[in-house]
Amino acid sequence: MSYLAKNYNRKKISFSRGKGSYLYTTNGTKYLDFVQGIAVNCLGHANSRLIKTIKNQSKKLWHVSNAFEIPEGEKLAKKLCQKTFADYVMFQNSGAEATEASIKVARRYFYSIGKPNKNRILCVKNSFHGRTLAAIYASGSKKMTEGFGPKVPGFDHFVFGNHKSLKKKINKNTAAIMIEPIMGEGGIKVIPDWCLKELRKLCNKKKILLIVDEVQTGVSRSGDFFAFESSKIRPDIVPIAKGIGGGFPIGAVLMNKKVAAGMTPGTHGSTFGGNPLACSIANTVIDIVSSKKFLNNVKRLSKYFLSNLNQLKEKYPEVIKDIRGRGLLIGIQLHQNQAKFIKKLMDHKLLTIRAGENVVRILPPLNVKKNELDQAFKIINKVCSEFK
Ligand SMILES: *Cc1c(COP(=O)(O)O)cnc(C)c1O
């Protein structure tokens, strides 16, 4: 029997090692891993540069309290600020922690300017911002909140794509709008650039903050360092996590100077957040994935893979409804429930994961090789033909 709580519906398979895009089971069966820990292992498994970093740092220093200065964190924060809109960074350990801390930053900002009643966060109905108590109520999903007691107050919701409802829901107590630039769990739904621009304008007009949750889309997953960059907007607060540690848990909140002013000493903290080991790994990840050359390669691979998948959609219109996504955050929307399709892909040794709206989510490592994309494509093609 298993002593693990039953909160996951796990597939009956386990792996003993991984290398790049591949995972190996205990008995040596090889799988092409296009889940990568759900957009976490951005450089694949057992990346040699990350191994070197973790080896070096683990011999020197793992953890010290945030009561002291942490040079590895200073270095990482500087890199993040120099590459993005941000002026300040606050380290966390996970995505949900980063989204919750973002909510705190937004509320605290209005408190600090003498408007404590501006504390409500407007979110997309059935979005995904994590699984802590506040984050599930931010997501506004019935399924995620059921049975978890009194509602955490302070969240309003609008329907994705319904701009009228969005405008109607903003009131004098609204502090911020929080959105995912590409809804990950919700089915790889991309918010178009023009829409992000309008959203920024709306926030300026209403004097409220814009929080862009880049936990899944960030750190080069979209082909840009952040998914919002192609729209040229500047958000106020951006939580990140998944990809930044390349498989090591670390999250962060990026913020501009204006909102950072509210975060005075003692207003937030995290025991593990931003320790030397986590930060040194993230430093190496950022050095690799944020270069122009690396990003151009992600864009090139994405274009190639998406165009192949779109051809597949033409070939099997009765199976595939839509091809979605940007960069290497890709969704194949099916006409029917995707569970059987994912199982079949797995039978053919390709690992993928579900997302909302019957979507098969495909998340290769960002340094995936072209021939590995070809191999995956062949398997997807085969499963489509079996599904016809
Ligand atoms: C995964 C995810 C989170 C939560 O991250 P955890 O590390 O699981 O807490 C929050 N927001 C988005 C957009 C995510 O994809």
Long-range interactions of 197-206: CB distance < 8 A, separation 24+: 197/231, 197/232, 197/233, 198/163, 199/233, 200/231, 200/233, 200/234, 200/235, 202/166, 202/167, 202/170, 202/177, 203/176, 203/177, 203/236, 206/170, 206/174
Residue 62: the pLDDT is: 98
Distance in Å, CA 65 to ligand 1 centroid: 25
Residues contacting ligand 1 via CB (< 6 Å):
94-96, 99, 128-130, 180, 184-185, 213, 215-216, 241-242
Out of 128, 214, 238, 329, mutate this one to test ligand 1's pocket (max ligand atoms within 8 Å of CB): namely 128
pLDDT above 90: residue 165: yes
Give the N- to C-terminal CA distance of the chain in Å, as an integer: 39
Average pLDDT over residues 151-161: 97
Residue nearest ligand 1's atom 5 by CA:
95
**Residue 387 pLDDT class (50, 70, 90 cuts):** confident
* Chain region(s) in the chain for CATH 3.40.640.10: 49-289
Q: Among the atoms of ligand 1, which is closest to the Cα of residue 131?
A: 9
Task: Give the position of tokens 């993928």.
Answer: 352
CATH superfamily label, 15-47+292-387: Aspartate Aminotransferase, domain 1 (3.90.1150.10)
| pLDDT of 179 | 98
- Average pLDDT for residues 44-73, to the nearest whole number? 98
Provide φ and ψ at 80, rounded to 5°.
-60, -40
pTM here? 0.98
Percent of the chain with pLDDT over 90: 99
- What per-residue confidence (pLDDT) applies to 253? 98
Average pLDDT, the chain: 97
Ligand 1 centroid from CA 381, angstroms: 30
Please determine, for residue 78, whether its predicted confidence score (pLDDT) is greater than 80.
yes
| pLDDT tens string 216-273 | 999 999 999 999 999 999 999 999 999 999 999 999 999 999 999 999 999 999 999 9
Where are the CATH 3.90.1150.10 domain residues in the chain? Answer: 15-47+292-387
CA of 225 to the centre of ligand 1 (A): 17
What is the number of alpha carbons within 13 Å of residue 2 lying toward its C-beta? 8
pLDDT value at residue 15 = 98
Q: Residue with the nearest Cα to atom 15 of ligand 1?
A: 216
The string of pLDDT tens digits covering residues 7-30 is 999 999 999 999 999 999 998 999
CA of 99 to the centre of ligand 1 (A): 8
pLDDT tens digits for range 133-151: 999 999 999 999 999 999 9
pLDDT above 70 covers a percentage of the chain that reads 100
- Spacing, Cα 128 to ligand 1 middle (Å): 7
CATH of domain 49-289: 3.40.640.10
At 1 the pLDDT is 87
The alpha carbon of 187 and the centre of ligand 1 are apart by a number of angstroms equal to 14
Identify the sign of the CA torsion 282, 288, 292, 298.
negative
**How far is Cα 242 from Cα 249, in angstroms, rounded to an integer?**
8
| Atom of ligand 1 lying closest to residue 185 CA | 15
